[in-house]
Amino acid sequence: MPDQDYDRVEVDRFLLERIETVPHLEALLLLWHGRPKAWSPGAIADALYVSTDAARSILDDLSRQNLVAAAESAGEFFYESETARDRLVGSVDLAYRHELIRITRLIHSKPSAAIREFARAFRLRKEHE
């Protein structure tokens, strides 16, 4: 096990709560490393080897979670620095570099967003009865 300069529990919680797929994580890290540069969906698509539509969807998801921001020009996205989040994303980056297989398995082990949303709706309905 490599020396850890990050809180594994905090990193795992972030990944489980905020990151849908490995490409979501990799897009976030690309923007974080490239800050303050704005990226187009096409540039992200090329870097991640996904379609432009998939990259746009990933960037929209990350933007909805306030993990990245949409630039006012040309539909580009960028990582907007914030001290607390920078530290956390830096920890996630370090964990991903040191524990690639564990991190990808953790993300892949999550139920799909549709299943989680269905379960959440069922819980809400049951609580109101």
Q: Rounded to two decimals, what is the model's pTM?
A: 0.82
Give just the sign of the alpha carbon dihedral 114, 120, 126, 129: negative
* CA gap 79, 29 in Å, rounded: 9
DSSP code of residue 51: -
Q: Provide mean pLDDT across the span 74-84.
A: 87
Architecture field, domain 8-128: Orthogonal Bundle (1.10)
pLDDT tens, 8-57? 999 999 999 999 999 999 999 999 999 999 999 999 999 999 999 999 99
Backbone φ and ψ for 48, nearest 5 degrees, come out as -100, -5
User: What are the extents of the domains in the chain?
Assistant: 8-128
